[in-house]
Amino acid sequence: MRKTVIAGNWKMYKDLKDTEELLQGVKAQAASAPSFVTVIVCPPFTSLQLAGTLLRGSAVKLGAQNMSEHDEGAFTGEISWKMLKSTGCEYVILGHSERRQYYGETDAKINLKAKKALASGLLPIICVGETLKEREGGITEQVVATQVKGVLDGISASDMERVIVAYEPVWAIGTGKVATPAQAQEVHAQIRGLVAKLYSQSIADKIVIQYGGSVKPDNAAELLAQPDIDGALVGGACLKADSFAGIFKSGMQK
Ligand code: PGA
């Protein structure tokens, strides 16, 4: 049975005061979330330490939004796995489309980050997804397959069981244009099929594939009801405790 994994990507929102306020609300709501749902918050780096302290002993897990592929060194502005782990982080989002689009992250770089995260014991949430132009050009499957193969290159079968893949069509992120449940399910099934080919059917059956892109409390249930949609990566709607809770309470067990 796969768990439902709902992660909130706070992006570049929330200072320390806002972090405290939002987490009080999320913690309170998560206490009554179904037990098969894993709730993760991914605040900005500056809030991780505070979040780690506030979430200790609660049901809410902590994740980061990015991580360096290096262990340490002269990499100004970067954050290492060790730093993340020292705050209580267990998860890290890698290769978000905003990282790809604005900071030039490639599949090869995301692959290095994923390997580093796995080697250090962090659980990577690796994002893939096509642009509007690619969807309209009828090459969604091809684009997503290239990304999946690229980001997973050289990752062993035992490590793969710990990977979460987030399918996030770029055209649906922050636009209010959610993929229909059928559109999302189609790509999720393709990703799971590809993982079965690259690894095995049993690994494909085990891994969590999240959908991301304009997930809201009023569309979460129908997305999560799809057989291959095992969770959500939520942006805008995770910035208020009530709307985030509306999503993680609509989870279904697969
Ligand atoms: P959104 O963002 O929910 O605001 O569309 C999703 C994401 O970027 O992960």
Q: What is the pLDDT of residues 14-27, one digit of tens each?
A: 999 999 999 999 99
Q: Report the pLDDT value the prediction gives residue 27, as an integer from 0 to 100.
A: 97
* Closest residue to atom 2 of ligand 1, CA basis: 235
Task: Summarize the confidence of residues 200-209 as an average pLDDT.
Answer: 98
Q: Report the pLDDT value the prediction gives residue 167, as an integer from 0 to 100.
A: 98
* Closest residue to atom 6 of ligand 1, CA basis: 235
Give me the residue label for tokens 């594939």. Answer: 209
CA–CA gap between residue 151 and residue 163 (Å, rounded): 11
- CA–centroid distance, residue 184 to ligand 1 (Å): 14
Sequence-ordered strand ranges (E) for 31-184: 37-42, 60-64, 91-94, 123-128, 164-167
- CA–centroid distance, residue 220 to ligand 1 (Å): 13
Task: Summarize the confidence of residues 221-233 as an average pLDDT.
Answer: 97
Mutate to test the pocket of ligand 1, among 65, 234, 238 (most ligand atoms within 8 A of CB): 234
Give the position, in ligand 1's atom list, of the atom nearest the Cα of 213: 5
Least confident range from 38-42, 145-149, 246-250: namely 246-250
- CA–centroid distance, residue 234 to ligand 1 (Å): 5
CA–CA gap between residue 234 and residue 83 (Å, rounded): 24
* Closest residue to atom 7 of ligand 1, CA basis: 235
Give me the residue label for tokens 């709730």. Answer: 39
Give the position, in ligand 1's atom list, of the atom nearest the Cα of 237: 3
CA–CA gap between residue 27 and residue 21 (Å, rounded): 10
The answer on pLDDT for 251 being more than 90 is no
* Average pLDDT of the residues of the chain: 96
Q: Is the CB of 233 under 6 A from ligand 1?
A: yes
Task: Give the domains, in start order, of the chain with CATH numbers.
Answer: 4-251 (3.20.20.70)
Q: Is the CB of 228 under 6 A from ligand 1?
A: no
pTM over 0.75: yes
The answer on pLDDT for 254 being more than 60 is no
> pLDDT tens for residues 95-127?
999 999 999 999 999 999 999 999 999 999 999
Q: Report the pLDDT value the prediction gives residue 34, as an integer from 0 to 100.
A: 85
Confidence of residue 33 (pLDDT cuts 50, 70, 90): confident
Strand pairing class (123-128; 91-94) = parallel
Task: Summarize the confidence of residues 226-239 as an average pLDDT.
Answer: 97
Q: Is the CB of 42 under 6 A from ligand 1?
A: no
Compute the chain's Rg from CA coordinates.
17
> pLDDT tens for residues 50-83?
999 999 999 999 999 999 999 999 999 999 999 9
Q: Report the pLDDT value the prediction gives residue 35, as an integer from 0 to 100.
A: 86
Q: Report the pLDDT value the prediction gives residue 32, as an integer from 0 to 100.
A: 85
- CA–centroid distance, residue 137 to ligand 1 (Å): 23
